[in-house]
Structure formats: structure tokens, C-alpha cells
Structure 1
Amino acid sequence: MENENKRLGWLDATRGIGAIMVMVFHLWERHSEQKFIPYSIINTTIDFLIRGVYDFGKIGVVLFFAVSGFVIPYSLLRYKNGNITRFIISRFFRLYPLYWISIILAIIFVNDSFSAKQLIANVTMFQGFLFIDNILGAYWTLQIELAFYILCIFLFMFKFLHRDYVIILNIYGWTFLALALGVIRYITKIEMPVALPLGLAVMFFGMAFRKYKLKEGNINNKTIYIALVSFLILMVPTSICAYSNYWYKYIITYTIALLSFILLSKSSNKEYIVLSFLGKISYSVYLLHPIFALAVYDQLIKTEFGKIIGSYFIIALAIICALMAGTIFYYTIEKPLVNVGRSFSKKIINNYNKLYAERGVYKNQSKSL
């Protein structure tokens, strides 16, 4: 059990790093929008490090995607009976209740200019596929997560989810689709959803990397790193076509994120107390930081107190407030509801197994008669 906890510890640590990077990026963006911020070497240097040649926020998101690929498919493969039912129930209770609460809070404190159509679409979490705007910008990644879950269920149903070659083909397939959409975007100037196949490719890479690292299949060192290098090479034309103004940021960002993911995996025998805790509350922090952290910043920056302590201290206070809110919501809402989902799924599966056993007994009795 101790080795298992350590192994999962680096994944939680990776999530924690991702959550902090996304939050810091969004706060720094808000900071940069202030017209009264004077020029300084420190400010320019920090701006360069956070969003100059790469993007803190996207690094965090790519780390999230890689971790999802490493973890999520195992939820389908670990059970002998009722895999899909358990998976859907557990994912629902993991994602939706807290997500719905964040929508309510966003409507109250952040975005009160929305239509009934936008609200209904956002409640489903499929708004991106319906070409309807997110109530909070951070929601865009959740739709890519949902697409990955659906793909995993589909592959599991047809007994492909555990096959090494299918996982590798998905990495290449989604990467080439991203390139194709990027080319179409460049030619037609239509905003094609390039981020979707890129995110899916990263998730399937995370899945392949798990099989390689934990020796759960036949994916070897050569296969995994050829897939990684191929993805990063194809990121060049994809980024140039799809994100012509900032193409270099995407290449550098994805490279840093994936290499960081691999490096963090090499420390899987270490314990990360603080980062692992941040990883546990990362979903709450991710959903709530646009509400709590940005609200704190917006309110304090206007006050005399804010002018005295300065923007950097306000950003630090905003991060602390968001982490406190994330911790509270994790222990009062997210974690209890995840446990409810587990109990509910176990109850359904137990009833299913009981019914199946009774039918088996009935059939045997019929045959004996």
C-alpha cells in the first residue's frame, strides 16, 4: 500500500503543479490588464517567464491532460463486472456536482450576462460541442476530458482499450487530425477546434506512458519516445497554421509540459506532502479560482490597502484565498459526493450481480427439470 501511495503521489503532485500554474497565469493576466502598473525590470521579467515565450496556463492544462490519460482508463479496466456503469457513475459524481456549483457562483459573482440557452448548454458540460460560449473560460478543458471519457468507453466496449497498438494509433491519429484542422484553419480562417485533437493526443500519450512505465503491456522505450518526438515535430506545422501569431509558444509549452510529466514520473518513489495535497484539491481549485482568486484581486486592487501592499502581495493573497476555498469545497462537497458515487455504483453492481446469480440458478434448475 505504501508503494501504491507513493506511485500515486507523483500524479497528485503533477496535478497540484498544474493547478497552481493555471491560477498564477490567470492572475497575472488580470494584473497585466491594469493600466496603472508602472514599467519595471521585475515586472517585465516575470511577464516573460509566465507568458513570454511559453504559457504557464497551457503547461498546467497539458499536465492535467497527461495525468488523465495515465489514470482514467484504469478506472474502466480495474473492475471485473459493470465497468462502464461504475465508470459513468464515478465520473458523474466526480465532475458534475462541483461543476454545477461553480456555475451558480460564477453567475452570482462573475458573469450575470448570459442567456437561458447558454446556461442550459453549460449545465450539460457539452457547450463547446454545441458551439456555445462557456460561462467561465476555464470550462473549455472539461469538454476535452469528456471527449476522452467517451472514447475510452467506446474502445472498452469493443475490447480495444487495453491494446497497445490502438493506443499508439490514437496518438498519431489525433495528432494528424490536429494538423489537418490547423491547415484548414489557416486556409479558411475558420476557428477549427485544434485544441481538441491535441488534448486527446496528449491523453493517449499519458495512457501509453502508463503502460510503458508500469509494464502493463508491450510498449517499450523506443515506441514511447518515437511517439513523443513525432508529436512534438508535428506540433511545429500545426502551431504555425493554427496559431500563427504565437506559434512558438505552443511548441515550447507542449514540450515543457510533456518533458516535465516524464521527469516527475521518475520520482515516483518520493513523497510530496504539499504538492500531493494540492493535487487532491486541484479540481476544486481549477473550477473555483476564476471566482475566488480573481474576485479577491479585483476588489483589493481598487483599495488604498491594495495600493500599499502592491500587486504582487495581492496576487499572493488571492492564491491563498483560492486554495482555502478549494480546500473547503473539496472536503465539504467534492470528496463526500465522490464517496456517494462509489457507494451508489457498488450498490448497483451488487444488485446486478445478485440478479445475474439468481438468473443463473433459475436456468440451472430449469435444465435439471
Structure 2
Amino acid sequence: MKNKRLDWLDAIRGIGAIMVMILHLWEKHLEQMSTPHSIINVIIDFLIRGAYDFGKIGVVLFFAVSGFVIPYSLLRYKNKNITRFIISRFFRLYPLYWVSIILAIIFVNDSFSAKQLIANVTMFQGFLFIDNILGAYWTLQIELAFYILCVFLFMFKSLQKDYMVILNIYGWTVLALALGIIRSITGIEMPVALPLGLAVMFFGLAFRKYKFKEGSINTKTMYITLLSFLILMVPISFCAYSDSWYKYVMTYTIALLSFILLARSSNKKYTILSFLGKISYSVYLLHPIFALAVYDRLIKTEFGEIVGSYSIIVLAIICALIAATIFYYVVEKPMVKFGRFLTRKISNPDKSQISSSVYETKPKVM
């Protein structure tokens, strides 16, 4: 069977990026409204963040997709895997990220210190307890932690082992519970989101192994693991996020079940969503600049008063998608291509030795 790109994964990423952007724009909308408690606002607000968090559902979907595809980029090569992995991930993440920092400084946040700027350039600012220049950067540190873990497990030949993947899901979930308890008792804001994000990513990896029969993970193991995670989300959320604990339980439940349902429709084509998935990293990084900033600047103008906030939200989304598309083709795609060129130059492997994308595989029927 010929390799094909997994459109449903792109579709999930596209959905996730749009959900995050809609949540942030909706929060901007409520800040500007003189009647935020009107009936229509109350209804929409409930649908977006009443019983769950629309944006965090998108983030959890991102994490699950990362777990599904990222480890494969380590395992698919026959030699020099770690070097290739580091190079490909560097050119995938950093060039566009640095561009977003420059744009953020110009258009959004000019009140930062040299220390904050240097830390943000590394993308490790969260581990250094230094604020992000843009709030959206917080998820990138969790991604980096997952990459480091994957490399570590690969070095010890554990990334391929099913039991280690399952053990990581349970281990990071239990750590999240421990941090949540500490947070509840001491009031110290422990980083509960980090182990939860890692648990979701390893769930994505386990689901890949299950879906494509790349190991011995069966249906029973997969769904017992999922159920155990969702059950533990109740005390984790209650301890760490007591005021809105039910939202976190609902958010993670909806996100993971949606991920599984979309995976089961993997034979379908998602033309528009697939394209949004391809530009999703650009959308995620640039929407605070080209969506939120556009909204802020237009909503207070005469034009904004005439067309209304909802129209400005739509216009801001369109601007963000146009900007993301441009930066995808001008920055992101060329840098990813250059990263692949460098990985091929390392040892000049036979082209049949690798797939052109971690999204490509030979899917098997479930």
C-alpha cells in the first residue's frame, strides 16, 4: 500500500488551532462589551467556556497529535536518529517561533526585560520561571519536555516498548495528582499542566501503536488506560483547579474522545481542515498578533462600532488565517524543507529508508 499523508491528523490540528483562536477572541469580545451578560453573550459564553474550555480542548488535541507523530520521527530512521530528530525539530519549531517573537515585540508586547527576551529566545523560559512574551508560548515548553523524554527513552531503547509507553501515561498522571494535592494544601501554583500534557502525549503514542498494530497494545488496554486517566482527572482537577474543576474534567474527556472518534474516520478526506492543520503552527503562534491585535485596534474605531464586535471577530480570524498562510509558505515550510535537507545530508541515506513526513505511514485496518 502506498504511503499517504494522514489527513485526519492535519484536520485535528486545524480544529485545535481554530478553537484556541476563537476562545482568545471571545475573551477579548467580553472585555469590550458594555453588556457582556446579554442573552446571546451568555449562551455563546456557555458554549465556549461554560461547562468546558474551548481553547484547552484545542490544546489537548494538539498534545495528542504530537504524541501520535513525534516519536515516529525518531523511530523511522535506521541510523543517526537523535541527530536527525534534533535538526528536524529545531527547524520545525524555532525559525517561525523567533519570527513570532519579533512580531510580538513590534505589535503586542514592548514591555519586556533583556532577561525575559533571552529566555524566550531559547523557548525554555517556563523551566526558568520567566514569563512568556506571548501567553500562547506556554504549550511549547511542554512539547519540548516531551521531545527530551522521547530522546531519553529512545537512547535506552524504551520508546519502542509498549509497557513503557503505558507506564508513562500512568506515571505522569499520578505526578499530576501529587502536584495537585500539594497545590491544594500549600496554595503554591505547582505546574500540573506539564505532567497532564505529557500523559496526553504518551496516550497519543499508545493510540498510534494500537491503531497501526505497531506493538501489542490491544483494545482492552487502550480503553482501560483512557478510563483510568479520565477518572484520575476528577481528583486532579478538584485539587488543582477547585473553582472550575468540572471544566477540566469535561475538557480532557471531550478532547480525547474527539481524538479517538476522528481517528476512526481516518479514511475520510478533510480538504479545508487538512489545510488548516498544515498552517496550524503558524495560526497558533501568530493569532495573538494578527487576530487579537487586529480586534483590539478595530473594535474601538468608528468602523468597529458600525459593524459590531461579532463582525470584527470574523474579520480578525480571516486576517490571522491569511497571515498564517503567508508565514507558512515564506518561513515555516522552507525551514522545514531545509531541516529535511540537512537530515538527508548527514549520511546520504537511501530515499527508501525514510518517509518524507512523520504524518506518513502505512495504515492498517483497525
Q: Could you tell me the TM-score, scaled by structure 2's length?
A: 0.94
> Percent of aligned pairs with the same residue?
82
Amino acid aligned to 2:239: C
Which ranges in structure 2 are unaligned for 5 or more consecutive residues? Answer: 350-366
**Distance across 1 between alignment mates of 2:70 and 2:294:** 34
Which ranges in structure 1 are unaligned for 5 or more consecutive residues? Answer: 352-369
- Match of residue 367 from structure 1: none
Residue deviations 1:82-138 (CA, integer Å, cap 9, x gap): 111110000000000000010011011111110111000000000000000000000
> Do residues 51 (structure 1) and 49 (structure 2) align?
yes
After superposing on structure 2, the runs of 4+ consecutive aligned residues of structure 1 that deviate more than 3 Å are none
1:226 is displaced (CA, Å) by: 0.4
CA-based RMSD: 1.1
Amino acid aligned to 1:14: I
**Distance across 2 between alignment mates of 1:237 and 1:178:** 10
**Distance across 1 between alignment mates of 2:11 and 2:2:** 16
- Match of residue 325 from structure 1: 323
1:307 is displaced (CA, Å) by: 1.0
1:35 is displaced (CA, Å) by: 4.3
Q: Which one has a larger percent helix, Structure 1 or Structure 2?
A: 1
Identify the match of residue 294 of structure 1 among 292, 296, 300: 292
Amino acid aligned to 2:108: V
Identify the match of residue 224 of structure 1 among 222, 225, 229: 222
**Distance across 2 between alignment mates of 1:344 and 1:293:** 34
1:345 is displaced (CA, Å) by: 1.4
Identify the match of residue 169 of structure 1 among 167, 170, 182: 167
Q: Could you tell me the TM-score, scaled by structure 1's length?
A: 0.93
1:2 is displaced (CA, Å) by: 6.3
Partner of 1:54, secondary structure, is: coil
Alignment of 1:138-177 (within 5 A): 138-177=136-175
Partner of 1:338, secondary structure, is: helix
Report if aligned partners of 1:3, 1:269 keep a CA contact under 8 Å in 2.
Answer: no
**Distance across 1 between alignment mates of 2:223 and 2:33:** 45
- Match of residue 254 from structure 2: 256
- Match of residue 362 from structure 1: none
Amino acid aligned to 2:71: P
Residue deviations 1:23-51 (CA, integer Å, cap 9, x gap): 00000011111142454221111011011
**Distance across 1 between alignment mates of 2:270 and 2:289:** 28
Amino acid aligned to 1:4: K
Q: Which has the higher contact order (CA 8 A, sep 6+)?
A: 2
> Do residues 200 (structure 1) and 210 (structure 2) align?
no
- Match of residue 4 from structure 1: 4
- Match of residue 355 from structure 1: none
Partner of 2:34, secondary structure, is: coil
- Match of residue 357 from structure 1: none
- Between the two proteins, the alignment pairs up a number of residues equal to 349
> Do residues 123 (structure 1) and 125 (structure 2) align?
no
> Do residues 95 (structure 1) and 93 (structure 2) align?
yes
**Distance across 2 between alignment mates of 1:297 and 1:200:** 33
> Do residues 335 (structure 1) and 329 (structure 2) align?
no
Report if aligned partners of 2:68, 2:204 keep a CA contact under 8 Å in 1.
Answer: yes
1:141 is displaced (CA, Å) by: 0.1
- Match of residue 364 from structure 1: none
**Distance across 2 between alignment mates of 1:348 and 1:342:** 10
- Match of residue 366 from structure 1: none
Computing the radius of gyration from Cα coordinates, the structure with the larger value is: 1
